[in-house]
Amino acid sequence: MSQADGKGSGIPAVTVYVTGWCPYCQRAKALLTEKSVAFTEINVEDEPQFREEMKSRSKRNTVPQIFIGDKHVGGCDDLFALERSGELDRLLQGTT
C-alpha cells in the first residue's frame, strides 16, 4: 500500500484499489496524478484482506475501484466519464 492522501487539506480522501499489472489501474492513477490529486493506492495482491475490503466496499471484483471520500465512483471508465462531464472536479472539491 502506498499513501499520498489529502488529509488535512479539505479535499475528500481518494482511495484506488489496484493490481501491479492492470493497465486500467495505470490509466486511472495517471489521470489523478495529472490532476495533482493525492490518493491512497491499495494493491489488492499484497494481502488477501485488501481484495476482500475492496469487494465489500464496491460490490465489484475488478480493479481499479476508486473512492472519493466514502463515495464509490467505480472503475477507470467511470473515472474518465466523470472527468469528461466535469463532475470529477466537483467530487474532488467535496461540493456534491
pLDDT of residue 5: 46
Per-residue pLDDT of the chain (96 residues; tens, 9 = 90+): 554 444 456 789 999 999 999 999 999 999 999 999 999 999 999 999 999 999 999 999 999 999 999 999 999 999 999 999 999 999 999 875
- pTM of the model as a whole: 0.88
Residue written as grid cell 467530487: 91
Q: Are 58 and 52 in contact (CB under 8 A)?
A: no
Q: What is the pLDDT of residue 96?
A: 59
Q: Superfamily assignment of 1-47+61-96 in CATH?
A: Glutaredoxin (3.40.30.10)
Give the gyration radius of the chain's Cα atoms.
Answer: 12
Alpha carbon distance 11, 56 (integer Å): 24
Any idea where the domains of the chain sit in the sequence? 1-47+61-96
Cα 13 to Cα 10: distance, rounded to the nearest angstrom? 9
